[in-house]
Amino acid sequence: MKKKFGVLLATVLTLSTVLAGCGGKDDSKTITFWTPLTGDDGAYMDQIVKNYNATNPEIKVKHVITADMYTKISTVLASSKGVPDLAIIHADRVPGFVKQGVLESMQDTVLPAQPELKAENYLPQAWNTGNIDGTQYTVPLDIHSNVMYYNKDLLKKYNAESFLDDNVVTIDEMLSLQGKLDEGDYVVNDALLGWVILAQIQDLGGDIQVDGKPAVNTPVFKQAFENVKKIADAGLMTPFGEDGYLMFQSQNVLFSTDGTWSSTAHAGVEGLNFGVTNVYSPTPDKFTNRSSSHLFAMLKNDKRTDEKEVGIANFLEYVRTNSMEWAKAGQNVASNVVNQSPEYKDYMQSFFTSDEKEIESLYIYTYEYYPYIAEAVDTYCADIVRGNVDIDETLATMQKFVEDKIAESSSAAK
C-alpha cells in the first residue's frame, strides 16, 4: 500500500509540474507558435520547426497544435493570458480580426527585420489577403485549394480523355456521359461541394456581397446551384449520403472535387491511377479553384518583446526559403523561391502554379463576412443540389442565416 501511495504521489507531483509549466509565462528564448493543423499537415509543420531549431537560432520556436484554435484565441485574448507569440490563421479571418483590433501589424516590426519578406517573393493572392488598407498584417505560408482529381483509367474507359485537352472540364462535357456509365460508376462526387458552389459564383461573374452587404439570395447563386444540380439530376453525381471521396479511391468515380491536401492520401491507394486538374465550370472560358491561405500572424500581445519579433522574422525567412517540406503536405507553397524551383515540379499541386492563368484561378474570398456565407452554403448546398428543398425558399433562408449571424456578431462586439 505504501509503495502504491508513493507511485501515486510521484505521478501527482509530476502532473502538477507539467501543469505549472503550461500555465507559466513563455520563456524569453521561446516563440510560442499556435496552429490549427490537427491533421497530417501538423506533422509536416513539426518537421519544419524542428529543422529551424536545428539551426540553433537565438530564439527557438515551439509549435503547439491547437484544436478549436479560434475559440481558444478568443479566450486568451479576453484574458490577455497565454496569448501565443505567433499563429497560423486562415485568410478569411484577417478582415474580421483587423476590424476587432486583435492583430498586430507586421509592417513596421517583422518585415524590416528580414527585407526578403516582401510581396514579390510570394504568390500574389496569398500576400494580398493579409493587406488591409495598405497595412500588411500577415506573411503567407500557402494557398490551399479545392481542385479536381481524375481517374485516368476511367477517363480512358469512357472515352472522356478529351475533356482534359484545355484543362477545363465543363458541366456539358460531364452531362454528355449520361447513360454511358456502368452501374455503380459516377462522373463526379460531392466532395467539398460548398467550395465548388463558391467557385461557380466566380465562373458566372458574380460575387457574395454587394456594397459590403451579403448577397446570397441572388440570381447568380441560383444559377450556380441549378448548374451543379443538373449533374445530380442526371444521376451522374455520387448518391446522397454516400462517401464520394472513398468512392473515388475505390475507382468508381471519374472526378473528385476535394483538396490539394488530398493528393498524399490518394497516392497511398494501391492501383489508383490519377491526375489533377481544375474544378469543373459552366463555361470553357473561365475556371476557378476556390482557395484559402494559411497565414502567419501575430495576435495582440503586450508580452511579446522586440527580440521575439526579430526571432519571428528570422523564422519566417527560414520558412520562405525552406518550405519544400510543406509541399509534401499537398499544399501550394506561397514562397516563390520554393514554388518556382525544379524540385517543386515533382509535386502534383505544382500544376496550379505552372502559369499565370492557373495562379489567377486560385480565388480567395476576402469579404469580411465570408465565414458566415461559407457556413450557410455548406449547411444547405447538399439539399439544394439533390433537390430535397426548393431553391428559392432555401436561398431566402440562407440570406437570413447570414444576416442573423452578422447581427449576432455585431451585438457581441458592443
Each residue's pLDDT tens digit, 29-43? 999 999 999 988 999
61 is a domain residue: yes
Confidence of residue 409 (pLDDT cuts 50, 70, 90): confident
Contacts for 247-252: CB closer than 8 Å, 24+ residues apart? 247/186, 247/189, 248/149, 248/151, 248/189, 248/191, 251/151, 251/153, 251/154, 252/184, 252/185, 252/186
What value does the mean pLDDT take over residues 264-278?
Answer: 97
- Indicate whether 354 and 397 sit together in one domain: no
Boundary (domain end) residue, out of 337, 359, 381 = 359
- Indicate whether 285 and 409 sit together in one domain: yes
- Indicate whether 180 and 207 sit together in one domain: yes
Of 121, 65, 111, 57, nearest to 88 by C-alpha is 65
353 is a domain residue: yes
Confidence of residue 136 (pLDDT cuts 50, 70, 90): very high
- Indicate whether 172 and 40 sit together in one domain: no
- Indicate whether 268 and 202 sit together in one domain: yes
**Mean pLDDT for the chain overall:** 93
94 is a domain residue: yes
- Indicate whether 251 and 304 sit together in one domain: no
How far apart CA 295 and CA 91 sit, in angstroms, is 7
DSSP per-residue letters across 41-73: HHHHHHHHHHHHHTT--SSEEEEEE-TTHHHHH
Angle, CA 89 vertex, CA 86 and CA 94 arms, to 5°: 110
pLDDT at 4 over 60: no
Q: Residue 138 carries which side chain, given as an amino acid letter?
A: T
Kindly report the number of other CB atoms within 10 A of residue 166's CB atom.
13
DSSP letter (8 states) at residue 407: H
270 is a domain residue: yes
The answer to whether 327 and 344 are in contact (CB under 8 A) is yes
- Indicate whether 302 and 230 sit together in one domain: no
> Model confidence over 211-238: pLDDT tens digits?
999 999 999 999 999 999 999 999 999 9
11 is a domain residue: no
Q: For position 83, what pLDDT does the model report?
A: 96
> Model confidence over 309-368: pLDDT tens digits?
999 999 999 999 999 999 999 999 999 999 999 999 999 999 999 999 999 999 999 999
162 is a domain residue: yes
Q: For position 7, what pLDDT does the model report?
A: 40
- Indicate whether 114 and 50 sit together in one domain: yes
The answer to whether 329 and 40 are in contact (CB under 8 A) is yes
- Indicate whether 237 and 373 sit together in one domain: yes
Q: What angle, rounded to 10 degrees, do the helices at 370-385 and 193-203 form? A: 100
What value does the mean pLDDT take over residues 159-183?
Answer: 98
pLDDT at 19 over 50: no
SS3 150: strand
Q: Does residue 21 or residue 365 have the better pLDDT? A: 365
The answer to whether 126 and 293 are in contact (CB under 8 A) is yes
- Indicate whether 151 and 283 sit together in one domain: yes
Angle, CA 88 vertex, CA 82 and CA 92 arms, to 5°: 115
> Going along 182-240, which residue ranges are E strands?
186-188, 209-210, 213-214
Of 263, 254, 249, 256, nearest to 346 by C-alpha is 263
251 is a domain residue: yes
Which residues, listed in sequence order, are joined to residue 291 by a DSSP beta bridge?
Answer: 145, 364
Give the three cell numbers for residue 58.
537565438
Rg (CA), the chain: 23
Domain of residue 406: give its range.
146-291+369-413
How far apart CA 75 and CA 329 sit, in angstroms, is 30
The answer to whether 129 and 173 are in contact (CB under 8 A) is no
Boundary (domain end) residue, out of 340, 359, 378 = 359
55 is a domain residue: yes
The answer to whether 399 and 219 are in contact (CB under 8 A) is no
SS3 75: helix
- Indicate whether 137 and 157 sit together in one domain: no
- Identify the CATH number of the domain in which residue 210 sits: 3.40.190.10
Q: Which helix (H) or strand (E) holds 295?
A: strand 294-299
Kindly report the number of other CB atoms within 10 A of residue 192's CB atom.
23
* Domain count of the fold of the chain: 2
Q: Is the whole-model pTM more than 0.75?
A: yes
Q: For position 414, what pLDDT does the model report?
A: 63
- Indicate whether 210 and 254 sit together in one domain: yes
> Model confidence over 74-128: pLDDT tens digits?
999 999 999 999 999 999 999 999 999 999 999 999 999 999 999 999 999 999 9
> Model confidence over 308-318: pLDDT tens digits?
999 999 999 99
How far apart CA 403 and CA 83 sit, in angstroms, is 31
